[in-house]
Amino acid sequence: MAYRRPSNDVGMKVGRLFRLLAYPRLRDLPPDQWESVLNRARDTEFDAIEWAGIVAGVAFTTFALRPGAGEPESLFTLYLGQFVLALPLLIALVGPFLLRRTRRGLDLELAQRNGGHSWNRTYERRDGASRHSSSARPE
């Protein structure tokens, strides 16, 4: 039996799920606007806490992965090993600060769209139910 690649629809559902886990405020927007809003949110400038966290994460990773007493067989093996160890370390140490910046940018973008108030959802239907709610039916 040959391997069947999952349909693109499954990949899209998984991608949407991961985006909603990373950015819960996306639930306030229609799914067709997510990409453009996230792109603008990622363009937000870093603040001092995020810069300090990124610099500290990179510095710690650099310190933790300096060559030890045992010399590897070649420089290639040394660099490959350091890369394999640095990638998860950087994801764990620097990733949260990148996520924080995007979430902050998303909050700013939603506040700007809603007239400066994040609670003022202008995209709700006239009957008060959200467009995304399956139980919202006009009477």
Structural domain contains residue 121: no
Angle formed by the axes of helices 75-113 and 48-64, nearest 10°: 170
**Is residue 104 within 8 Å of residue 44, measured between CB atoms?**
yes
Q: How many Å apart are CA 35 and CA 18, to the nearest integer?
A: 13
Q: What does the pLDDT look like over 53-108, one tens digit per residue?
A: 999 999 999 998 887 656 667 888 888 888 999 999 999 999 999 999 999 999 99
In a domain? residue 50: yes
The structure tokens listed for 75 are: 């420089």
Q: Which domain holds residue 89?
A: 10-113
Radius of gyration over alpha carbons of the chain, in Å? 22
Confirm whether 99 is domain-assigned. Answer: yes
Question: In angstroms, rounded to a whole number, what is the distance separating the alpha carbons of residues 103 and 109?
Answer: 10
Q: Does 132 reside within a domain?
A: no
In a domain, 38, yes or no: yes
Number of structural domains (the chain) is: 1
Instruction: Kindly state whether residue 123 falls inside one of the protein's structural domains.
Output: no
